[in-house]
Structure 1
Amino acid sequence: MERIFRFPIKVGKESIDVLGHTNNKEYLRWMEEAALAHSDSLGWTMDRYLGIGKVFVASTHKIEYLRPTFEGDELTMLTWVETMDGAKSRRCFYLKRDNKVCMQGWTEWTFVDLQTGRAADISAEVKKNFPLVPPDDPDLKASGVRRSPSQA
């Protein structure tokens, strides 16, 4: 079970804005792609969520842009689940180019019942597959994360 997931990104021409660097909306897209890929790797594909009639939906994002990225850059998005409590889960993100941090942030996800459209407590079945990585976890430091994005 991969606690801290690494998601490779190569910045394409379509991600570049009129200023010649990556458009801010791309970072949010990459965060979602990394979250879905991590969930898939833990056995929770979108089909599985739909099968139980409950899904995670984003309710809050925080993104801190630290360095611009450019066409052709090869990046690594690190992502991990920091909390799962009630219907809420916080997932952190840390985007690196080489050893330089370009962006950090987090998304708060709400677990939603598709029939009612309302928040639902995250089931034990889901929780057991997502290892939590608290802000002071030594694996974060070993991965090059200086401080958890939730503490920014």
Structure 2
Amino acid sequence: MSANAHAIPIHITPDDIDFMGHVNNARYLNWVQDVVLSHWRKVAPPETVAAHAWVALKHEITYRRPAFLKDDVVASTVLEKIAGARAFYNTVIDRGGEVLAEVQSMWCCIDTNTLRPARIDRNVAEKYFGLPRQQKTYTGE
């Protein structure tokens, strides 16, 4: 798995279940946030993590199948590109290789002191996210 990719197991709780007996659609967005932020904390250096936060700008979600209380679910995400202060992720929620949902999301990096958008440093993008200098997916400078 490259530095661009990350996966976490999802623990479904009774609070996740809606009136129809399956996981409520809104929980999938929480899972996307969980895996994206987990990816950030895993690959970025601690001082960069402390100095930056992420806010969601856009999610496009396609639900394929429902999830249930006893399911073993995994959220897998891939950082597709960084553009200035924005990061673009593709996330798949699956159960044993069966796709439950696919999500394309856009996130904005925020400076934790000023609460203003903050570009991702080219060196951080290259070293920690595995986005090489020649790759056209980094447009921060």
The TM tier, using the shorter chain, reads 0.7 to 0.9
Superposed, 1:1-152 pairs within 5 Å as: 2-44=3-45, 48-50=48-50, 52=51, 54-128=52-126, 129-132=128-131
CA apart distance, 1:10: 2.9
Letter in 1 for 2:21: G
CA apart distance, 1:44: 4.5
Q: Is the CA contact (8 Å cut-off) linking 2:40 and 2:49 kept in structure 1?
A: no
Letter in 2 for 1:49: V
Per-residue displacement from partner, 1:27-68 (whole Å, max 9, x unpaired)? Answer: 0111111112222221455x7433x3x322111111111100
Q: State the identity as a percent.
A: 29
TM-score scaled by length of structure 1:
0.75
Letter in 2 for 1:88: R
Runs of 5+ consecutive residues of structure 2 not aligned to the other structure? 132-141
CA apart distance, 1:120: 2.5
Local SS of the residue matching 2:129:
coil
Question: Closer, same or farther in 2 for the Cα pair 1:44/1:102, shift >3 Å?
Answer: farther
Q: Give the root-mean-square deviation of aligned CA atoms.
A: 1.9
Letter in 2 for 1:112: I
Question: Structure 2 CA distance, aligned partners of 1:44 and 1:101?
Answer: 32
CA apart distance, 1:126: 2.9
Q: Is the CA contact (8 Å cut-off) linking 1:79 and 1:94 kept in structure 2?
A: yes
Q: Is the CA contact (8 Å cut-off) linking 1:62 and 1:106 kept in structure 2?
A: yes
Where in structure 1 do 4 or more consecutive aligned residues deviate above 3 Å?
114-117
TM-score scaled by length of structure 2:
0.80
Aligned residues: 129
